[in-house]
Amino acid sequence: MKEVRVRFAPSPTGFLHIGGARTALFNYFFARQNKGQLVLRIEDTDSVRQKEDSIGQILDSLKWLGIDWDEGPDQGGDFGAYYQSQRLSFYSNAAAELIQSRKAYYCFCTEEELETERKRQRKEGTLIRYSGKCRELSKNEVRERLEQGLKPVIRIKLADFDQIIVNDLIRGLVKFKSDQFDDFIIIKSNSLPAYNFACVVDDHAMRISHVIRAEEHLSNTPKQQYLYEALGYTIPKFAHLSMILAPDRSKLSKRHGATSVSEFKDMGCLPEAIINYLTLLGWSPGEGKSELISPEQTIRSFSLDKVSKTAAVYDIQKLVWLNGQYITEYNLEKLTLYAVPFLIQAGIVSSIEAEQNHSYISAVVKTVRERVRTLQELAEASRYFFKDIIMYDEKGKEKYFRQENVAILLSEGKERLAGIEDFNVENTEKAYRNLMEELDIKGGQIIHPTRLALTGRTVSPGLFDVMALLGKKRCLERLEQAIDYINKMKS
Ligand code: GLU
């Protein structure tokens, strides 16, 4: 088989969006599975839609996700440049070739003329198509107009054909009737290439074997196939990945909340969880298999003909759930490193404290991680391990601090804890169990108010884990504080 070479070709028009990330990932899977090459090409010739900084943001997001490529803007490669804006001579040469062979022509129609034509067509109810007016201009006419300084576009001169058939590796044969096409523009009046043209010229020059991209480009593919043939290039294989729709099956947009990799990152998602989630948008590990799937596992079994044909539905709850699963299982040291910026951001620790208390932070992370789904939640769940309690949960207060004899119970508890020398999980638990037995009370009667006293909350990790982590001094202080508070509540 010919060497597999695929590409991810983002336009720098904003952040790396979930759809773009999924396209990059599926190209990556395919390249790695086939021991081929993944090329990153920046399609930056549309200066109007371009947003500053977005190239850097896209590259950072890809790297953060762990999607690496073999050739591209930063490391180069044999088929560069990897920015389209640095490849303009490729496009003008290819266009000149088409003009030479009379497969393309200069068109001098102005925007006003074209608009008048379109208006007429709309009125007559005919298809909106360029009339082909400039098709037959003679060489002299063209030269004269160029000498006058007019800025033409270059259009492809479509030959007669019935239909174009795209053989898509995911969708099978897709037919496009000839009336869907007119002499489309390949070079714009500012001399920059139109997307379809640049894409074909580059995919050929970069020896791309498989074009794997979003379904929204399927309608461009027949035009591109036409261009491949006109230029005498071999047509690569195509695979169009299904759309990603919003939960209400409308087009996914900003109003559906976080949709870019950087937003997921800011929410506190781990790259591995995002990768796992993106994998499931079109790929299935197979009936009855766990949805927790690593890139290595997917690479082993990946195949384009098994990628889903139907639209994937974006479900942030599923991403968050998956993220929770990863947080629970993750390497503790790595998870701590990811958690620290969230603790700083939430004002829970300062950067200096984070450096000095690394092992304590790690122990907190270990204790809270099973109950949280994002790093933001992890930070919130860690707060009372670092900060004093300034407020008690409202409902908890009513339920547990108004209990009869609660202050007496808490001071008994406090006394027992004060007597412990080695203040660890086992000993704190033993002290509380003995107390419950002696007083003949149910566990909840003392455990719930103690939890509220120590954490300010009604839910937390195991109470004795919390005690051991807080340490004796803070436990005693917080119990004392709660007892005072309860006494004030009563008076
Ligand atoms: N620059 C195009 C985009 O961002 C890529 C299209 C393609 O992959 O051919 O949608």
Lining residues, ligand 1, CB within 6 Å: 9-11, 43, 199, 213, 217
Please report the pLDDT score of residue 212 as a whole number: 98
**Structural fold of domain 394-490:** Arc Repressor Mutant, subunit A (1.10.10)
Output the pLDDT for position 267: 96
**Ligand 1 centre from 199 Cα, in Å?**
8
Which residues 6+ apart lie within 8 Å of 102 measured at CB? 157
Of the residues 11, 62, 196, 224, which should be mutated to test ligand 1's pocket, given the most ligand atoms within 8 Å of the CB?
A: 11
* pLDDT reading at 477 higher than 90: yes
Ligand 1 nearest atom to the CA of residue 7, by list position = 8
> Residue 46: what pLDDT?
81
Please give the number of the atom of ligand 1 that sits closest to the Cα of 203. Answer: 9
Q: Do domains 87-241 and 330-387 have the same CATH topology?
A: no
Q: Which residues pair with 17 in a beta bridge?
A: 260
What is the position in ligand 1's atom list of the atom closest to the CA of 220? 9
Entry pTM: 0.93
The pLDDT of residue 305 is 87
Average pLDDT of 420-424?
97
Q: Is the pLDDT of residue 254 over 80?
A: no
Q: How far is the CA of 172 from the centre of ligand 1 (A)?
A: 21
What percent of the chain is modeled with pLDDT above 70?
99
pLDDT at 481: 98
pLDDT higher than 80, residue 1:
no
Q: Is the dihedral of CA 398, 399, 401, 407 positive or negative?
A: positive
> 87-241 adopts what CATH topology?
Rossmann fold (3.40.50)
Task: Return the ligand 1 atom nearest residue 213 CA.
Answer: 8
Q: Looking at ligand 1, which atom is closest to the CA of residue 23?
A: 8
What are the pLDDT digits (tens) for 150-188?
A: 999 999 999 999 999 999 999 999 999 998 899 999 999
Please, what is the average pLDDT of the chain? 95
Q: Report how far Cα 98 is from the mean position of its chain's Cα atoms.
A: 40
Q: Distance from the CA of 43 to the center of ligand 1, in angstroms? A: 7
Distance 248 CA to ligand 1 centre (A): 26
Residues serving a catalytic function are 254
For a ligand 1 pocket test, name from 22, 43, 225, 238 the mutation site with the most ligand atoms within 8 angstroms of its C-beta: 43
Ligand 1 centre and the CA of 232: distance in Å?
Answer: 22
For atom 5 of ligand 1, the residue with the nearest CA is 9
* CA separation for the pair 48, 153 (Å, rounded): 18
- Mean pLDDT on 76-103: 96
pLDDT band at 482 (very low <50, low <70, confident <90, very high): very high
pLDDT digits (tens, 9 = 90+) for 290-326: 999 999 999 999 999 889 999 999 999 999 999 999 9
CATH 1.10.10 assigned to domain 330-387? The reply is no
Query: Domain map of the chain by residue range?
Result: 1-73+242-328, 87-241, 330-387, 394-490
Give the Cα separation of 457 and 450 in Å (integer). Answer: 10
pLDDT of residue 48: 67
Residue 287: the pLDDT is 84
Q: What is the pLDDT of residues 32-76, one digit of tens each?
A: 999 999 999 999 998 666 776 889 999 999 999 999 999 999 889
Q: Which CATH superfamily is domain 1-73+242-328 in?
A: HUPs (3.40.50.620)
Q: Ligand 1 centre and the CA of 213: distance in Å?
A: 7
